[in-house]
Amino acid sequence: MSDILFIKTSSLGDVIHHMPAISEARRHRPDARFCWVVEEAFAPLVRLHPAVEEVIPVASRRWRRALLKASTWSDISGFVRTIRSRRYDEVIDTQGLLRTAVMTRLARGRRHGYDTDSIRERLACPFYDVRHYVGRALHAIERNRTLTALALAYAPEGAIDFGLDRARLAGASPARYGMLLHATARPGKQWPEAHWIALGRALTDRGLELLLPWGTPSERARSERIAAQIPNARVPDLRPLDDVARLIAGAQFVTGVDTGLLHLAAAIGVPLVGIFIGSEPGLTGPMGRGPIAIVGGKSAMPEPRDVIDALRGLS
């Protein structure tokens, strides 16, 4: 049995976009043992993938906020010991950042990454033993699949598979609800609150509860402001990502901006409408087996009516 270590730490959308590469690698390496280094907040989601035997959490985001604390350096030392505790046959960094390249270098094994024409941060390249060319114009999912296939010596082929089963995640809940995903870390991707309120009010005739999840205090405040103006809207409690995945799996539909939870909905196969404003859907748009519609685009502001029409088209 070979041991293969994948390094894709963040953000949520990037982690989800790496899941099809894991599924495909499992088909070609059925006897391999797959390990994945990922930010601690995303570890519960990664553990849902049936091909991942071990998840190694890293807390680089938390460590950066407390570098002077002794506990931080104790945690860093523990992470280094864990990642070096065994020798891997292949170590694959599909993130392509300097910080993930350092983690790759810490691991013991043949280290793979992007070459200088493919990578996001060129300073990362010297940390790899093998450097692969992967076109930068490819969708993020295809870049992950291609790099993984090159490192493990097979050709990527077939439909994408995120390894997430909607029926199993949703369970037998009889609740009927839709989800409005307004939260995003980048202001340039946000849709105006007035548009969300107009959309929510237009959806009340569907007889569904509308949920507005959040991840930070400012996002919670925004969820509450929007929900206060929409009949039958609710702001759920903060949950770990595996529970959020189950909540999304039970939704009748999802509509949201270009954010990690939208990509999670696509990965699970929930019907969705993606609202794009400050990013290019051809490079990072949601992909999955369920019905997907996109409105807007980079520097294009869609109106609530565009979203309503797109949702009707999913039916």
pLDDT tens, 263-282? 999 999 999 999 999 888 88
- How big, in percent rounded to 5, are the helix, strand and coil portions of the chain? 45, 20, 35
Determine if the pTM surpasses 0.75. Answer: yes
Residue 213, pLDDT > 90, answer yes
Q: Which residue has the tokens 């088209």?
A: 313
Q: Is residue 158 part of a domain?
A: no
Q: State the Cα–Cα distance between residues 294 and 272, nearest whole angstrom.
A: 9
Q: Is residue 276 part of a domain?
A: yes
Structural domain of residue 40, as residue ranges?
3-152
Q: Is residue 121 part of a domain?
A: yes
pLDDT tens per residue, range 16-39: 999 999 999 999 999 999 999 999
User: Is residue 101 within a helix (H) or strand (E), and if so which, with residue range?
Assistant: helix 98-106
Q: What is the mean pLDDT of the chain?
A: 95
Tally the C-alpha atoms within 13 A of residue 33's C-alpha that lie toward its C-beta: 10
Same-domain check for residues 279 and 175: yes
Same-domain check for residues 172 and 147: no
pLDDT band at 298 (very low <50, low <70, confident <90, very high): confident
Q: Which two tokens stand for residue 73?
A: 């350096």
Closest CA to 205 of 186, 230, 240: 230
Q: Which two tokens stand for residue 7?
A: 């390094």
Q: What pLDDT, on a 0 to 100 scale, did the predictor assign at position 171? A: 87
C-alpha radius of gyration, the chain, whole number: 20
Same-domain check for residues 239 and 141: no
Same-domain check for residues 145 and 240: no
Same-domain check for residues 276 and 203: yes
Same-domain check for residues 123 and 186: no
Residue 174, pLDDT > 70, answer no
Instruction: Point out the domain boundary residue: 119, 152, 185.
Output: 152
Q: Is residue 248 part of a domain?
A: yes
Q: Is residue 264 part of a domain?
A: yes
Same-domain check for residues 26 and 106: yes
Same-domain check for residues 147 and 13: yes
Q: How far is CA 143 from the centre of its chain?
A: 14
Q: State the Cα–Cα distance between residues 143 and 134, nearest whole angstrom.
A: 6
Residue 207, pLDDT > 90, answer no
Q: State the Cα–Cα distance between residues 72 and 52, nearest whole angstrom.
A: 27
How many domains, the chain?
2
Q: State the Cα–Cα distance between residues 166 and 187, nearest whole angstrom.
A: 30
Instruction: List the beta bridge partners of residue 57.
Output: 38
Please give the share of the chain, as a percent, with pLDDT higher than 90: 90
pLDDT tens per residue, range 63-118: 999 999 999 999 999 999 999 999 999 999 999 999 999 999 999 999 999 999 99
